[in-house]
């Protein structure tokens, strides 16, 4: 049991060490990236919906 606790402590020490090396984005970078993801997702949703409508109409012809 003591060995398990030591492994857990070591894990959290290593996580803390690695997290201190992370370069976090600024608030403006985060907002810009979020807006870009929303726009690209909306574009692809519309595109796939449009293709779906076309293929549905084409399959109803037969």
pLDDT beyond 90 at 6:
yes
Is 90 exceeded by the pLDDT of residue 42? Answer: yes
Average pLDDT over residues 17-37: 96
Contact in structure between 25 and 33 (CB atoms under 8 Å): yes
Tokens of 35: 């807006």
Q: Rounded to whole angstroms, how far apart are CA atoms 33 and 37?
A: 6
pLDDT of amino acid 1: 84
Question: Full-prediction pTM beyond 0.85?
Answer: no
Residues comprising the chain, all counted? 62
């Amino acid at each position: 049991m003591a060995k398990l606790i030591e492994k857990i402590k070591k894990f959290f020490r290593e996580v803390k060490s690695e997290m201190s090396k992370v370069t976090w984005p600024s608030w403006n970078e985060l907002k810009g990236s979020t807006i870009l993801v929303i726009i690209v997702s909306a574009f692809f949703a519309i595109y796939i919906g449009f293709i779906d409508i076309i293929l549905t109409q084409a399959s109803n012809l037969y």
